[in-house]
Amino acid sequence: MLRTPDPTQREILSHLRSTEHLLAQAATLVSGHDCDAEIIPMPDLGLPHNVRRIHGGFYTGAYYRWDSTVPMVPVDATVNLCGVALFRVEDDFADEGDFRRRVEAARSVLSEKSSYVWNFTTGNHFVILAENRTAGALPEGRYLVLHASAAEFKNQYNGLYPAPGNWYYDEIRVLAGQHGRYLRYLSGRPAERFACMVAMIEHYQYERQRVCASLILGAEARIAEEICSVLHYGMPDTSSIAIGCQWLPDDRPRSMLLTRPGAPLYLIRAQPGGPNRTVTLNGPVTLTPHGLGVRASQPLNLAYDNDHLGIAGWRLALDESLAGRDFIDIRDFDRDTDLPRILDECPGAVEAELHQVYSYHRTQEDS
């Protein structure tokens, strides 16, 4: 699925080979017999902001799978649930001021009166009002696009991130590799419980998106139709993790392709049976990219030690972020060249081009 890697992707691929080897070793160790692992890179393979995830050998835009007869989960993949939902709306926003007012009103309700954590201004999350200008698979009109994760299950005691003192932290095992690499993982009952939590949160995440959309629209508008709600971050089954990679069952082939701030977004219908087809424990799925991915403007030159990562001349602590660093950026996008390339590597058809009207995201957050 990644036929022509750019320089950043070529460096990442070399590190993913070590991750793949460590996953197979850990699965073999806990199972007591030889086990295999496989990493499938997507066209948007790139850098996450999370430094710990890079240090652990996990990158955005890839599907990670391992064979194991005993439950096992690599914790530095920093699993959570994240996705994009698309809703057709009735009774539009009056103007950009009205749009921002209603988003802020929803933020106040969620922050002050609910158990939800507002995170539409975190990382690359957003709220977008978009417009379909050509009738086809979608009617002409306005659409609300939400991108956010289940932040309520992240660093808390009951969360999924490997935060010191959380419910599983004392159960983490370490498999040492070469050149400072290692794999931290859970096995047995803690891993089984972890996977069960992820499965539970999957349904929670879909409902979370609906609740947030309804709050943003407020009393003045309503959801006319939910077009799709697709995860690109989570566990497709108990022995795999997808990071920035959508896994689409045959009966739900639609997903969104995210591009750059201000640029059109695309509703894509995946074509099953292509080279991006794989089989999970829950059945066959089609793997697709959810965006363009983040690249570096200079060599990564990754160097590992126990509590820091050397990257592009920087030495960063594992709890730091790459967000805002001047050596990374979202990949460029040209509709006439990049879209056909992506659809060639992961076959599908564009059902709608959605033009951004108003957006709310990290760089626009009020200080």
Average pLDDT over the chain reads: 95
| Domain assignment present for 194 | yes
pLDDT number for residue 363: 67
Rg value, the chain, Cα: 20
Give yes or no for residue 51 having a pLDDT over 70.
yes
| Domain assignment present for 1 | no
Helix (H) or strand (E) holding 119: none
Residue 154: helix, strand or coil by DSSP? coil
| Domain assignment present for 163 | yes
Helix (H) or strand (E) holding 232: strand 222-234
pLDDT digits (tens, 9 = 90+) for 98-118: 999 999 999 999 999 999 999
Q: Print the domain residue range for 133.
A: 7-364
- Considering only residues 261 and 210, tell me which one the structure prediction assigns the higher pLDDT: 210
| Domain assignment present for 221 | yes
| Domain assignment present for 326 | yes
Mean pLDDT of 110-137: 94
pLDDT digits (tens, 9 = 90+) for 290-334: 999 999 999 999 999 989 999 999 999 999 999 889 999 999 999
Q: What is the number of domains present in the chain?
A: 1
| Domain assignment present for 2 | no
| Domain assignment present for 87 | yes
Q: pTM here?
A: 0.95
With a pLDDT cut of 90, the percent of the chain lying above it is 92
| Domain assignment present for 351 | yes
Helix (H) or strand (E) holding 351: strand 348-361
pLDDT number for residue 367: 31
